[in-house]
Amino acid sequence: MGIAADISADWRAALAALAWQVEAGADEACGDVPVNRYELAVEATKVAAPAREQAVPDAAHATPAGDPVAVARAAAAAATTLDDLREAMAAFDLCELKRGARNTVFSDGNPAARVLVLGEAPGREEDLEGRPFVGRAGQLLDQMFAAIGLSRTSPDAETALYITNVMPWRPPGNRDPDAAEIAMMRPFVERHISLTDPEVIVVMGNTPLEALTGTRGILRARGTWTEALGKPMLPMTHPAYLLRNPAAKREAWADLLSLQARLRG
Ligand code: URA
């Protein structure tokens, strides 16, 4: 009886702890044994102190090797093909988000497409599959562009889409990448756009808007063509936002028609 009561109490406590973790954004089990990361941080400082070159980057992303943005810029500049760029991004170790990700999510679609769609960052499905926009928001994105005759699977540049994200690694709990993370990935985004050389860029959400213009406020910016990296750029609301706010689909439809008109020239 006593044992049964204990088991039941343990079970309830474990369930409550699990619910709390899910609430805090944890959505995957990555180990059977809990790790006290505060203790690890102290140990890492002790070990790393004499050999500063090996030190783990701190919260502000400073590294002994130098400025992460400068490192990213050099790596991106050295890439002369998309395969090079994919490799350079997969080898870039100065973004903390990489540590928690299963895959470096590079791109999907046809690199010859007239339209490049720039999203924010992979979610759970994208991280597992290694392709951008394959979850619910991605399905909506496909439907939206299909409505104006564009598809990531089209072999014809005229009707194709090329899709990538500012951040190739899934942030924990699907939080937005912060300003420092966006800044260090921007050289890769710039290189990605110069290598694919699309005719127009569609930015979906605040993260790509910030990466290309330095400002946020997608709800104000959406629908107004502007220029980024010497190319026409159309800001649109993110499909995940449209899933949460179906009434905003009306404006998104207007934006898609504006894109279609632009492509018809
Ligand atoms: N949201 C994004 O911005 N990109 C993805 O790849 C998936 C969801």
Residue 35 lies in a domain: no
Q: Which atom number of ligand 1 is nearest to the Cα of residue 126?
A: 6
- Other C-beta atoms closer than 10 Å to the C-beta of 45 total 12
Q: What is the pLDDT of residue 247?
A: 98
The pLDDT assigned to 50 comes to: 36
174 is a domain residue: yes
Distance of CA 136 to the CA centre of its chain: 15
Domain CATH code at residue 105: 3.40.470.10
Q: Which atom of ligand 1 is nearest to the CA of 131?
A: 6
Domain membership of residue 121 (yes or no) is yes
Mutate to test the pocket of ligand 1, among 125, 133, 174, 212 (most ligand atoms within 8 A of CB): 133
CA dihedral 193, 197, 203, 204 (to 10 degrees): -90
Predicted confidence at residue 119, as pLDDT, reads: 98
Enumerate residue ranges in the chain where pLDDT < 50. 1-5, 41-62, 64
Q: Which atom of ligand 1 is nearest to the CA of 105?
A: 6
Q: State in Å: Cα 138 to ligand 1 middle.
A: 7
Range of the domain at 243: 65-264
**Per-state percent for the chain, helix, strand, coil, to nearest 5:** 55, 10, 35
Q: What is the token pair recorded at 35?
A: 């790790």
pTM: 0.78
Asked whether residue 29 is domain-assigned, the answer is no
Distance 137 CA to ligand 1 centre (A): 7
> How far does residue 2's CA lie from ligand 1's centre (Å)?
50
Does the residue 116 lie in any domain? Answer: yes
Domain-located, residue 59: no
Distance in angstroms (rounded) separating the CA atoms of residues 39 and 23: 24
Residues in contact with ligand 1 by the CB-under-6-Å rule are 119-123, 126, 132-133, 137-138, 165, 205, 240
- Which strand ranges, in their side-by-side order, compose the sheet holding 161-165? 107-109, 161-165, 115-119, 200-204, 231-236, 226-228
Q: So what's the pLDDT on residue 66?
A: 72
In a domain, residue 85? The reply is yes
Residues paired with 109 in a beta bridge: 162
Residue 198 is predicted with a pLDDT of 98
Q: Provide the pLDDT for residue 30.
A: 53
Residues contacting 28, CB < 8 A, separation 6+: 124
Secondary structure of 10-25 in HEC code, one letter for each residue = HHHHHHHHHHHHHHCC
Looking at the domain assignment, is residue 152 inside a domain? yes
Q: Which residues contact 245 (CB under 8 A, 6 or more apart)?
A: none
The total number of structural domains that make up the chain: 1
User: Given ligand 1 and candidates 103, 108, 118, 120, which is best to mutate, with the most ligand atoms within 8 Å of its CB?
Assistant: 120
